[in-house]
Structure 1
Amino acid sequence: MQILEGYRVLDCSIAMAGPFAAQRLGDLGADVVKIEPVTGEWQRHASAGGARGNRINVSFLSLNRNKRSLAIDLKSAEGKAVLLRLVADADVFVQNYRPGVAKRLGVDYDTLAAINPRLVYVSMSGYGESGPYVDRPGQDLLLQGLSGAMLSTGRAGDPPQPAGQFLADAVTAYTAFEGVLAALLHRERTGEGQLVQVNMLDAVTTFQMQELSVHTVGGKPQTRSAEPHAHSFIRAPYGVFETADAFIVIAFASLAKFGALIGEPSFAGMDDETDSWAHRDAIFAATRARLKAKTTAEWLDILLPAGIWAGPVHGYADLLADPQVAHNGTFVEYDHSSEGRVKTPGFPIRFSKTPSSVARGAPQVGEHSREVLAEAGYDAAAIDALLTGGVVRQD
């Protein structure tokens, strides 16, 4: 038995943050029903990198495994009635509508809690449910820029550096996932459901807990250096350096020991805390010049046995071939009805008694509409009528 087996999640979210959070619940055994329009959720039609797949593009595929799909027209009275019927027996409801949309659709927390007081209702937004930015688009890159994160790396004078991942979306998904688990624990203790509100701005801001505390409590300015130091608040050498054949990462090296290993005499006698700040550009430049003399593998053979924190810079192909990744079982593989053999990152938490699993891949549009409606008490004739009337869709 899995940890969340027996719990029903209604996932009305779109794009990345909401679907990713709901997928994590499904990985732990929850019955996640994706409620999507009869035309299919937005992410089905928006590919990343042109990776469209056969019937399901990779973006949707990666965020919607372990879900069943009920394709329904929520703008119709019949469609809304179907959803409210499902809410009566649900444990979790997830939505990331723009603020105010849930109320207009009649699926806001107060309305659904009146039907099911035990419901854990998760409302996700870009900036919060109210305030001066409530109507702004909550897109990942916009939140990275607003949160201050882009000015913690890179060189002074260069443009701000965004992350190469949808960082704000992913952090928000993890935050919502934690919120659901905490609210379910509260419900197990008290019998009460509740409203859980998560916004991208707060999620990506609190993700920078240490950096912002250095600024707010320690009084240190967020100052980028002339060299491409990897973090504005970490001492040198700290960053990515070119080698004879590739790149290497160096972090928190003892200057005297490191200097002796790479043949840089100027590091001898330097204090790791004070000098590494006062001379961080010079330290970076000297390190860069020395590390070009050998290959990454040669440097790792020298530095790692000496206790220097160093590592390679992988591309995705290198990551997939990495022996530790293979040992950890970081990626999962499964067969999909239309996409064939699928390999994606799995669930990152290991449970000794209740492991995660992939029970099904991402669904086709409305693939499980009949199944879900039958479980909700609709008979075959009623389901046929909903399908014929275009209220629901089954692929």
Structure 2
Amino acid sequence: MSRPLPLSNLRVLDVSQVMAGPFSCMLLADMGADVIKVEPPKVGDQTRRAMGFRLQGDDSAGFLALNRNKRSVELDLKNEAGLRAFYELVKTADVLVENYRPGVAKRLGIDYETLKEIHPRLIYASISGFGQTGPWAMRPGFDLIAQAMSGILSVTGQAGAAPAKNSVPVGDLGAGLFTAYAVLSAVIGRGDDGPGQYIDVSLFEAALGLSIWEVAEYWGTGKVPQPLGSANRMSAPYQAFMASDRHFVFGAANQKLWALLCEVLDRPDLLADPRFATNAERMRHRDELESALSTTLRTRKADAWIAALLEAGVPAGPILTYQEALASEQAAARDMILDMEHPVEGKIPQLGFPVKLRGTPQQLRRPPPLLGEHTEEIMREIGCDIGKLGQQGAFGR
């Protein structure tokens, strides 16, 4: 007999839009939580219409990527009847995640102080650009702004070049990951009969919190970190190099690997060079090291170097496009592309689960919901008169 998913006893209200909140709630949903996406009538999460590419229906590929395993209910939180219905829904929930700008939830009457009076065990997570306190709290927050103001943008790209944003939205996704981590910590801390609590997450702090090496370099040396291209702040050589045909990467991050690298390259002179004797010296002479290695690496094709380095035990690999990465045998072996049936789109691809639970494997239980698809179902579950609520404008007019 199969065991239930680990979070199947949790109900989560996803009162968020775009990326950080929906991503966090999807992580919880993938682990079995009953995630109810509370959306404004007729428009829904702005990602449905405004973000990314469309396939067949109205919802964008961006929305489809962030909202599987959820149900959707339309509620007008600016309408008295809609707000009453929302309060009834809150009474049944364990967790609420929202990402309004600070102050908006209070104006709507759905802030933590209001809702904890209705449901003292509620765990309430707010995601914002800069957190609920501090001089920047009221600034609007996007991933780009978080990358810029956390320092990430200052160290990304090549030295002397124009600022280069990290294409993967580390502020947004990092905030989503930290929110899921905080929510589960609060659930455990709440126990069987304890109170809930408020969780304050920001894109700025998520981006800064992920800047481990950069902050360590600054505190350790007193020097402001600068862009290094593909290089690593704590090890050398550990970056992309050009072979005779294309770039590839390898990492000789300790003395053993450095010695093996010199052996593969047939460069005993590098091993004997005092400029490269230790990792600290190699980092100090990074430009000279790169130049010395490049003269040899450009003599063979990337695949040949990769094969030789891997055989010797030196980590190395090609630089793949997303098309190549998704089509790789490793992605296939790890089930990183899953097909899901959608009522409008038909069969759509989904990224697989990035962690695997062998005892309670995750499932694609629900496709990303259509706007308001489960409104009637959910209202009936919590004992609301859907006809009366509809007449009063709870679901929009």
**Same fold flag (TM > 0.5):** yes
1:198, distance to aligned residue in structure 2 (A)? 1.0
Q: Give 1:26's aligned residue.
A: 29
Amino acid at match of 1:247: H
Q: Percent identity?
A: 36
- Say which SS state the counterpart of residue 191 (structure 2) adopts: helix
- Say which SS state the counterpart of residue 214 (structure 1) adopts: helix
Q: Judge conservation of contact 2:55–2:345 (CA < 8 Å) in 1.
A: no
Amino acid at match of 1:215: Y
- Say which SS state the counterpart of residue 272 (structure 2) adopts: coil
CA RMSD across the alignment? 2.1
Q: Distance in 2 between matches of 1:229 and 1:35?
A: 41
Q: Give 1:276's aligned residue.
A: 282
Q: Give 1:81's aligned residue.
A: 84
Q: Give 2:239's aligned residue.
A: 239
Matched, 1:168 2:171: yes
Q: Judge conservation of contact 1:366–1:393 (CA < 8 Å) in 2.
A: no
With over 3 angstroms needed to count, the CA separation of the structure-2 counterparts of 1:160 and 1:289, relative to structure 1, is farther
- 1:1-395 equivalences under 5 Å are 1-38=4-41, 39-48=43-52, 50-216=53-219, 218-224=220-226, 228-231=229-232, 233-252=233-252, 254-264=257-267, 267-270=270-273, 271-378=277-384, 382-387=385-390, 390-392=393-395
C-alpha deviations, 1:66-100, integer Å up to 9, x for none? 11100111111111111001111111111111000
- Say which SS state the counterpart of residue 121 (structure 1) adopts: strand
Q: Judge conservation of contact 2:44–2:371 (CA < 8 Å) in 1.
A: yes
1:51, distance to aligned residue in structure 2 (A)? 4.0
Q: Judge conservation of contact 1:255–1:272 (CA < 8 Å) in 2.
A: no
Q: Distance in 2 between matches of 1:75 and 1:101?
A: 12
1:265, distance to aligned residue in structure 2 (A)? 6.1
Deviates more, 1:241-250 or 1:369-378: 241-250
- Say which SS state the counterpart of residue 268 (structure 1) adopts: helix
1:223, distance to aligned residue in structure 2 (A)? 4.0
Q: Distance in 2 between matches of 1:195 and 1:111?
A: 12
C-alpha deviations, 1:280-321, integer Å up to 9, x for none? 112113333432332222111111111222111111111112
- Say which SS state the counterpart of residue 69 (structure 1) adopts: strand
1:256, distance to aligned residue in structure 2 (A)? 4.8
1:219, distance to aligned residue in structure 2 (A)? 2.8
Amino acid at match of 2:283: W
Amino acid at match of 2:310: L
Q: Judge conservation of contact 1:67–1:361 (CA < 8 Å) in 2.
A: yes
Structure 1 gaps of 5+ residues are none
Q: Distance in 2 between matches of 1:51 and 1:293?
A: 45
Deviates more, 1:23-32 or 1:340-349: 340-349
Amino acid at match of 2:124: Y
Q: May I ask how many residue pairs the two structures share in their alignment? A: 387
1:187, distance to aligned residue in structure 2 (A)? 1.4
Tell me the TM-score normalized by structure 1. 0.92
Q: Distance in 1 between matches of 2:249 and 2:136?
A: 38
Q: Judge conservation of contact 1:153–1:230 (CA < 8 Å) in 2.
A: no
With over 3 angstroms needed to count, the CA separation of the structure-2 counterparts of 1:53 and 1:272, relative to structure 1, is farther
Q: Distance in 1 between matches of 2:98 and 2:129?
A: 12
1:210, distance to aligned residue in structure 2 (A)? 3.8
Q: Distance in 1 between matches of 2:249 and 2:193?
A: 49
Q: Judge conservation of contact 2:310–2:316 (CA < 8 Å) in 1.
A: yes
With over 3 angstroms needed to count, the CA separation of the structure-2 counterparts of 1:19 and 1:274, relative to structure 1, is closer
- Say which SS state the counterpart of residue 236 (structure 1) adopts: coil
